[in-house]
Structure 1
Amino acid sequence: MAVFPQYEDAKTDDRFVAGQQKGTLPFYISCHQIGMSYPMHYHDFAELSFVLDGSGTETINGCSHALKTGTMSLLLPHHIHELTSSQANPVKLYSCMFDMNILFGNPYEAYMNRWIHKIGSDLPSFHDFEGESLRTVSLLIEQLVQEYKESRIGRDAVLRGKLIEVVTYFLRGLMDGKEQTHSPEQTQPVKAWSILRYIHLHYNEPISLSSVSAHFHLHPSYISRMFKEHTGKTVNDYMHELRIARAATLLMASEMSISDICLEVGYDNYRTFARVFREHHQMSPSDYRMSHNRPVISPV
């Protein structure tokens, strides 16, 4: 069955933009109830969720786990994510979206850099809080929400501090080593999702089918066939879609020059970028920017 994750971008997400009207910190939090399902998607901002009530299943980069009261998940940018909620007991959760840069920059919080990028690969993407730790984290989340709703002096500093505190408790939970490892009989799906995740994380670098095959020590034809069966697309086509989707967002929402956007999304040749962009949008990058009422900044 073909898998086509939906792309969501912070700069065009109405909820995220609404949050920015309240302050300068790239941060948004809300509480909502999941219907039967939330479709497969990915985005270029981080997302932290915390289940208040209900039950369901969450799948992150092809690995599924149960959702229950106290489950916290942390998705890094471009991790692929979907939710299924119980009809009888629907999931109610807090969802927090933020720019990853909020967590970095302070030398006293260097542990963030060391561990957070391992989430979804060397570390699980979720942790189930229980007992005293659940009460502690629940209180922190409530304080985070209350601070977000108000416009008091130092609001952004408090939000950042509370977020770092929550993520630190999440990392501590992961270090307990209580999460189960994935079963070995899942080799085929895990390989496919590992390749998909790798492309999502490195699409803006000079990667190709050959470099992907070298990274996973698998023959290019095997990767090509498995990837096509899993996504319905070739590795190169999928990578182009990721790059062009990101480029389109930057053209609409940023002041970057088109040449900088070309490099930012992974193309080292402007002609190739312009050709692929036209194939996807039936117009040049500059025309696309103008059609969305953005000034054209020279590509050279």
Structure 2
Amino acid sequence: MAIFPEYEDAKTDDRFLSGQQKGQLPFYISCNQPYSHYPMHHHDFAELSFVVEGSGTESINGLAHELRRGTMSLLLPHHIHELYSNPDDPLKLYSCMFDINVLFGNAYESYMNPWIHKIGSEIPSHHHFEGERLASVTSLIEQLVLEYKESRLGRDAVLRGKLIEAVTLMLRALTDPNQSGTVSKNQPGSRVWSILRYIHLHFNEPISLNSVSEHFDLHASYISRMFKEHTGKTVNDYMHTLRITRAATLLVASEMSISDICMEVGYDNYRTFARVFREHHGMSPSEYRMSQAARRAKAL
């Protein structure tokens, strides 16, 4: 089955944009009740989710796990994510979206750094809280939601503190020697997910099939064949799709020049960028920007 994860960009999300315009913490919380299936996607912000009701399954970077009351998941930027809710026992969960840099930059929280980057590769992306720990974490999430809804003095400081506390409790649980669970990286399927994540993180850099081959110490033809089997696309076609999707977002959501966007998404040659963009959208980047501006103006 081919993998075509959708890209969700924080630059176009009103909840991020409004906060940044007011100088607020790049953070928001939503209460989600997916009816059945939330399709495969990835985004450039981090996400901490916590299930308060219902059951279902979640897949992160190709690894599926159960969702139930007390499940907390942490997704790093560009982790590929998919969710299924049980129609007979529908999920209700809180999702905290934030810029990953919110967790860094303070020497007192430096303990997090080595562990955060192991999420989804060396330690699991989720944990099931139970008993007293479940009660404590549930209370913490409720406090986080309440603080988010208010506009009191020091709101952003409290939000950041409670977010760091929640992530810390999850990291404690995941690194507890009595807890089982490591992420296997030896199966062919998991290799594909590692390669996918690497491409998602570096698609705007000058990478190619050969550089990916060197990074993973795997033969280029082996990567090419395995990648095509799982995604239905070649490595280069997949990177073009990511780059053009990002470019289209920047054309709509920013005032960057088209030449700057070309460089920003990983092209060092404008002609190549314009050609590939036209192949995907049937028009030039400038025509696309004008058409989207006209569409938005008509909708107002």
- What is the Cα-based RMSD across aligned positions, in Å? 2.3
Partner of 1:113: 113
Cα shift at 1:19: 6.4
Q: Distance in 2 between matches of 1:181 and 1:175?
A: 10
Partner of 1:269: 269
Name structure 2 gaps, 5 residues minimum.
295-300
What TM-score results when the alignment is normalised by the length of structure 1?
0.89
Is 1:195 the counterpart of 2:185? The answer is no
Partner of 2:181: 180
Q: Distance in 2 between matches of 1:18 and 1:120?
A: 30
Give CA-to-partner distance per residue, 1:166-197, whole Å, 9 cap, x none: 1122222221142423568x812212222212
SS of corresponding position for 1:173? helix
Q: Distance in 2 between matches of 1:107 and 1:281?
A: 46
Q: Distance in 2 between matches of 1:293 and 1:114?
A: 43
Identity %: 75
SS of corresponding position for 2:293? coil
Q: Distance in 1 between matches of 2:120 and 2:225?
A: 24
Is 1:243 the counterpart of 2:243? The answer is yes
SS of corresponding position for 1:292? helix
- Counting matched residue pairs gives 293
SS of corresponding position for 1:293? helix
- Which moved further from structure 2: 225-234 or 269-278? 269-278
Partner of 1:145: 145
Matches within 5 A, 1:246-261: 246-261=246-261
Q: Distance in 2 between matches of 1:290 and 1:108?
A: 47
Q: Distance in 2 between matches of 1:64 and 1:246?
A: 27
- Which moved further from structure 2: 85-94 or 8-17? 8-17
Matches within 5 A, 1:1-300: 1-13=1-13, 16=16, 24-177=24-177, 178-182=179-183, 187-293=187-293
Name structure 1 gaps, 5 residues minimum.
295-300
Counterpart amino acid of residue 221 in structure 1:
S
Structure 1 contact 55–67 (Cα < 8 Å) conserved: yes
Q: Distance in 2 between matches of 1:167 and 1:182?
A: 19
Distance 1:117 1:183, change over 3 A: closer
Cα shift at 1:23: 6.8
Q: Distance in 1 between matches of 2:241 and 2:87?
A: 34
Task: Give runs of ≥4 in structure 1 deviating > 4 Å.
Answer: 14-23
Distance 1:255 1:123, change over 3 A: farther
Q: Distance in 2 between matches of 1:94 and 1:243?
A: 30
Q: Distance in 2 between matches of 1:31 and 1:53?
A: 11
Structure 2 contact 120–183 (Cα < 8 Å) conserved: no
Give CA-to-partner distance per residue, 1:248-284, whole Å, 9 cap, x none: 1122212333333223222223332222222222233
Cα shift at 1:15: 5.4
Q: Distance in 1 between matches of 2:265 and 2:110?
A: 27
Cα shift at 1:16: 4.8
SS of corresponding position for 1:201? helix
Cα shift at 1:21: 8.0
Counterpart amino acid of residue 139 in structure 2:
L
Q: Distance in 1 between matches of 2:247 and 2:37?
A: 29
Structure 2 contact 227–233 (Cα < 8 Å) conserved: yes
Structure 2 contact 10–16 (Cα < 8 Å) conserved: yes
Cα shift at 1:132: 2.5
Structure 1 contact 124–179 (Cα < 8 Å) conserved: no
Partner of 2:298: none
What TM-score results when the alignment is normalised by the length of structure 2?
0.89
Structure 2 contact 227–234 (Cα < 8 Å) conserved: yes
